């Protein structure tokens, strides 16, 4: 029997950094079980160069990553989402579109690396920290036995992942 592929949408206001990185990460850590998407309520229209640089340095594919509106995923014919995760506090506080299929949702807030000011080292470190936090959460999510959890238990697990910190999973990651 073929394994089901779940569609996952990561939302952020600008869709230029965190949600983009999450889209790339779920493709890798999901190992074919998940197809990732990202979008923003007020997309910047471009992907932040430091997000692309970091993902490329870690050999993640970036060619198809683009900043886009969450409206693309609320219209007829859009891929039906199984999960929708907000990764920034602003997007979590906004009124989201009605997603076809009533996907499960959770908030996995991560500090905005694009908002960090300072020298290049400081800004790059902010992107690495955000990527590590997202990666830890996505790895935990991808390991869940989704098909064997009832809806209430799965929602509890999704919410708990949002409360995880970068230190809770793979703290010794050499990429940090």
Active site residues: 12, 88, 96
* Residue 10 CB-half CA count within 13 A: 32
Residues whose CB is less than 8 angstroms from the CB of residue 71 and which lie 6 or more positions away in sequence, other chains included: 39, 97
> 170 with 139: CB under 8 angstroms?
yes
- For residue 119, count CB atoms less than 10 angstroms from its CB and return exposed for 0-12, middle for 13-18, buried for 19 or more: exposed
Q: Which two tokens mark 92?
A: 């979590």
């Amino acid at each position: 029997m073929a394994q089901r592929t779940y569609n996952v949408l990561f939302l952020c206001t600008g869709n230029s950094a965190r949600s983009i990185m999450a889209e790339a990460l779920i493709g890798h850590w999901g190992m074919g079980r998940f197809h990732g998407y990202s979008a923003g309520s007020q997309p910047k229209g471009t992907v932040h160069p430091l997000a692309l640089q970091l993902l490329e340095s870690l050999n993640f594919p970036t060619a198809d990553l683009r900043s886009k509106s969450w409206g693309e995923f609320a219209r007829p014919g859009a891929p039906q989402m199984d999960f929708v995760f907000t990764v920034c506090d602003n997007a979590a506080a906004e009124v989201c579109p009605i997603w076809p299929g009533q996907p499960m949702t959770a908030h996995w807030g991560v500090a905005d690396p694009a908002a960090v000011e300072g020298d290049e080292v400081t800004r790059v470190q902010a992107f690495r920290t955000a990527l590590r936090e997202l990666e830890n959460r996505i790895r935990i999510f991808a390991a869940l036995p989704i098909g064997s959890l009832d809806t209430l238990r799965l929602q509890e697990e999704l919410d708990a992942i949002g409360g995880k910190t970068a230190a809770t999973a793979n703290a010794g990651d050499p990429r940090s």
